[in-house]
Amino acid sequence: MTVRRSAAALATTAVLLGVAAPVAVAPVAVAAPSPSPSADLPAGLYGTTDPTYDGVWRQSLAFLAQKIEYVTPSTQAVDWLVGQQCDSGAFTSYRDASKPCDASTVMDTNATAIAVQALVEINQRREDANNGADWLKSVQNEDGGWGYNPGSPSDANSTSIVIGALARTGVPVNELTTKNGSTPYTALQSLAIACGEKDGGAFAYQPGKKGELTANMDATAASVLGLMGKGIASGTSNAVKDPSCTKGDDLSPEQTAQNGASFLADTLKKQPYLEQAPMPGAEDTDPQPDYGNTSDAVVALAASGHADKAKASVAWLQKNGTGWAKQGGPAATAQLILAAHATGADARSFGGVDLVKQLNSMGPSPAATALPSPTPTGPQPSSGTDSDDSGLSLGWLIGIGLLVGTGIGFLFSMRGKKKQP
């Protein structure tokens, strides 16, 4: 996710300056912008830093994390997010909603896809989510994938998050076939490094100038979810056998996803965290931990049935990642919540920090909050493709309590009555 936002920021800046955005940018070779706090932030927005590059992203990611912890965002917060949408259905990274979208508005597939996922998960404004999904389908590239902006070359991260959004709105992703027969899965699989080669199982962000594929951790974690047709807020799948890298030219999307999971598991076996890639031109320095990509890898492993392979990483995040999350704001805090949820850790006591409370404090007061914290073995709000499959809502929890309070005798008396539809 860190790379995804950074590259999007560079592309947006290039467009605003009237210069050509770089094609096939090295994904891990760009630094995220360091926005300064703004005293004039719009009402309803999460976070206190300049939202220019990540306003929609951090808002949507916060909603996804709150949803799995049974927190309902405020109407004000939801209205702010929907207010960022253009009539076409697309979202930008952030815009002045008082002005209409026009030809100069920079549309962002990543912002659109995560906003769609968020609206579906919180089960609000479904018409707006569907509008966003329709726009995403309309800007699919001929190779089956998506780039950051309409018409830009496909990349693994953008393609994966769009797949997650379309799947959550009920779109049969494998049926989104272009004129040359390519699907979104085709695009992702073309970026997979073959097993038996160096970094086999990993995914590249984009091909190099000569078509070479270079392993990228962020792209690999994203592609595992994408090839399984899952969104960002994925829980734990049923355990499967230890991940392995399967050779072959005719692998299914799920087999290719398992290859990616195998690469992630092997990498995290050496040390429990991923490292940031060096910036271009930077002098050699000691590698720094990459908390965001480590969190994403944890979610990918859990979603592909290998939560046990992520336990050491979760323990490391509990010990080392809470300070990063607080400083990083809503998006970083949400990433830790998603990682905790996917592996059964308690997000309300993660390394001694109540991440849910921390996230809630970064935006408008939630409309509702339910306790206790859910676990991956319980109802999964983010499973399935029907937006109504939203897990146990606050209303359900209250209803159950009231029902129990009426007494066992009442329950027995109802046995002979016909159930209402």
pLDDT band at 45 (very low <50, low <70, confident <90, very high): very high
Residues 265-287, mean pLDDT to the nearest whole number: 83
Phi then psi for residue 72, to 5 deg, are -100, 120
Q: What is the pLDDT of residue 233?
A: 87
Number of other CB atoms surrounding residue 378 within 10 Å: 13
pLDDT band at 238 (very low <50, low <70, confident <90, very high): confident
pLDDT band at 240 (very low <50, low <70, confident <90, very high): confident
pLDDT tens-digit profile of 307-350?
999 999 999 999 999 999 999 999 999 999 999 999 999 999 99
Query: Is the per-residue pLDDT at 30 higher than 60?
Result: no
Give per-residue burial for 17-39: e unless 16+ CB within 10 Å, then b. eeeebeeebbbbbbebbebeeee
pLDDT tens-digit profile of 171-198?
999 999 999 999 999 999 999 999 999 9
Share of the chain above pLDDT 90, in %: 72
pTM: 0.81
Q: In this structure, is the dihedral angle defined by the CA atoms of residues 263, 307, 161 and 8, taken in order, positive or negative?
A: negative
Q: Which of 254, 240, 235 is nearest to 173 (CA)?
A: 254
Of residues 102 and 17, more confidence is placed in 102
- The angle at the Cα of 278, spanning 273 to 282, to the nearest 5 degrees, equals 150
Q: Dig out the tokens for 30 from the structure.
A: 């760009």
pLDDT tens-digit profile of 109-136?
999 999 999 999 999 999 999 999 999 9
Residues 50-73, mean pLDDT to the nearest whole number: 97
pLDDT band at 281 (very low <50, low <70, confident <90, very high): low
Phi then psi for residue 164, to 5 deg, are -60, -40
Q: Which of 148-157, 241-250, 376-385 has the lowest mean pLDDT?
A: 376-385
DSSP 8-class letter at 285: -
Mean confidence (pLDDT) of the chain: 83
